Structure 1
């Protein structure tokens, strides 16, 4: 059955691409040359990411988006002049249009936070990575569900709990998706609204194993008030733009931080340190800031994403410190348990 499916898709691929590329004035040599580059790359993509398209119409549409992606990569990589610079190329999102990518994966709601007005940061270590303390859970994959807001919040809660001396336990993202009525589940949500709801209800999050992730919005499962692992006592949310050194101190003192960023260009991200191609004006995606590194030529934030380990730097993205790149400092929340 599998061989039959592969043969069918291979034939469909070749016929569809031939239809797309061949014209009355195109020689067989020209067609073969194109098939040996763009089409072969697309077929490799299909095999790597186990895509199955329903018909030739969908194949042609996905192939068109794939071609557009490869053109974007040339433009995006033209800014990468240093060895550590971000690289852009083919990943699991390369057969999506930019509109589809935004509609599915960039569903965080941005709430403006007040400017940070705390004390001047003390002398800080040159490098901090909370993963080294074994208090950061593995990278998760939200799938085709706009639940980044829930993953970032739960990630911060379970890390802060572990920093306090408890064993690191993965908590239920699905519980927050289903029960935080102020948000819209897989259709999007605000980390600040989720934290405010957790603070007000004093809901104790269950473990991931007893309330597993479904990548879909479900009916809230209610437990007794005493059931669960931990509740949120309080949280803060601040704008650290122009004050990223203070944000470094906040990360050191409070543990991993929730940030809402502009991730439009992340559709094509492969790895390295992002220095361009994202704005501080259109925040749309929630992530977890787990560290920073100022020891190299380009200081950067270490950020855990929720798109699986095949994306970026094994599920992480590095963002240049200073200049509020991608709006990394616009809305940053710290959790208190």
Structure 2
């Protein structure tokens, strides 16, 4: 029976392809547009034939890529065979340029058209020095032959110092296609620091909706068009003046004002600021729920100042100049080596730092929690070059002190 189904599927695909050849000569688009586009068993062999001479992918990597293409197609974003091959060649180029410091991946974030990649960030950078925008010459490193000869050592991680807050700090959110990293990173950093301040007082903090604070409350109320980007200090100032309500991310959909945008919603629009909970099942009125403030917020810069603040009070929000190659990052220590960018920014949360040793070569890094879901990097976290102000990451760091 299984063989009959496979034979029927192949014959049906050939029939569809022959009919569609009058319109399209693209085997990938033909398959994605057909009723068989969701069958990985057909998509994976096609990908191998298209990419085999460009990238050396494992069977699991081909399967993951097929799933990403299927997800993109379900969103109306369909990649042609030519486009896929061009993007694959760019991945190969990135892996040649980065001297083995990190590995690039052909996947969902890198395959997005620029109009959608832009919605995955959202930190404004106009207040920073103009010279930080320049794409400065890359520091040449000695290429290493094998990744397995390297060891990574965490020198400090806030989750180790305050283990009771580990579940909260380890949770990765997805801002989807709303350019509100400025709000998501600040709200999640406040959530982390709220838990840590309670821990300092000997109080435990359950990882539930009562203790998760709303990025949506900030992005809809602190600015009229929060999905179009802003500064983290806009979010900190809002919390200082008006407080912030509870609210989880989209999958959990709990608290007073949970995040309303699905990870696959292509064109979310900022909803109006309301003085009531958007979650009608939440029993605490908005004015009683939004009683979580900071006593002050501050900006710092420089590696040592960042390390000191992490050790004293917990995670901090960082901004950096975004470049296209970030979307390709899979593992290793990110530094910009390829692609357009350097004009606008992205914000995320620094939770620790460490050092990688490859033979006699040491490379320091920050431990970053991003807001692109768990499919990015290493479960939503990634390592970022430390101590060189890479892409301006050490120029603007912000944090708030919760009132607990």
Confirm or deny a common fold (TM above 0.5): yes
Partner of 1:205: 245
1:137-177 CA-to-partner distances (Å, cap 9, x unmatched) read 50011112212111110111011111112515221111112
1:81-112 CA-to-partner distances (Å, cap 9, x unmatched) read 34xx2110212123323x22442212211253
In structure 2, list runs of 5 or more residues that go unmatched. 28-44, 130-152, 249-253, 262-267, 277-285
Describe the shift of the 1:47–1:126 C-alpha distance in structure 2 as closer, same or farther (beyond 3 A). closer
- Equivalent residue for 1:274, pick from 334, 341, 351: 334
Partner of 1:234: 296
Partner of 2:216: 174
TM-score by length of 2: 0.65
Partner Cα separation in structure 1 for residue 10 and residue 235 of structure 2:
47
Contact 1:127 1:295 survives alignment (8 Å): no
Matches within 5 A, 1:312-331: 312-331=377-396
- Helix, strand or coil for the counterpart of 1:294? strand
Partner Cα separation in structure 1 for residue 275 and residue 120 of structure 2:
28
Contact 1:111 1:190 survives alignment (8 Å): no
Partner Cα separation in structure 1 for residue 119 and residue 336 of structure 2:
23
Partner of 2:352: 291
In structure 1, list runs of 5 or more residues that go unmatched. 22-32, 115-124
- Equivalent residue for 1:140, pick from 164, 173, 198: 173
- Equivalent residue for 1:92, pick from 102, 108, 119: 108
TM-score by length of 1: 0.77
The worse-fitting range, judged by mean Cα deviation, of 320-329 and 153-162 is 320-329
Matches within 5 A, 1:178-197: 178-181=220-223, 184-197=225-238
1:21-55 CA-to-partner distances (Å, cap 9, x unmatched) read 8xxxxxxxxxxx98643268888634345326389
Describe the shift of the 1:178–1:7 C-alpha distance in structure 2 as closer, same or farther (beyond 3 A). farther
- Helix, strand or coil for the counterpart of 2:352? strand
Contact 1:280 1:328 survives alignment (8 Å): no
- Helix, strand or coil for the counterpart of 1:263? strand
Partner Cα separation in structure 1 for residue 103 and residue 72 of structure 2:
27
Aligned length: 303
Describe the shift of the 1:291–1:10 C-alpha distance in structure 2 as closer, same or farther (beyond 3 A). farther
- Equivalent residue for 2:194, pick from 161, 176, 184: 161
- Helix, strand or coil for the counterpart of 2:259? coil
Describe the shift of the 1:34–1:52 C-alpha distance in structure 2 as closer, same or farther (beyond 3 A). closer
Q: Quote how far apart the aligned CAs of 1:319 are.
A: 0.8
Larger relative contact order (CA 8 Å, sep ≥ 6): 1
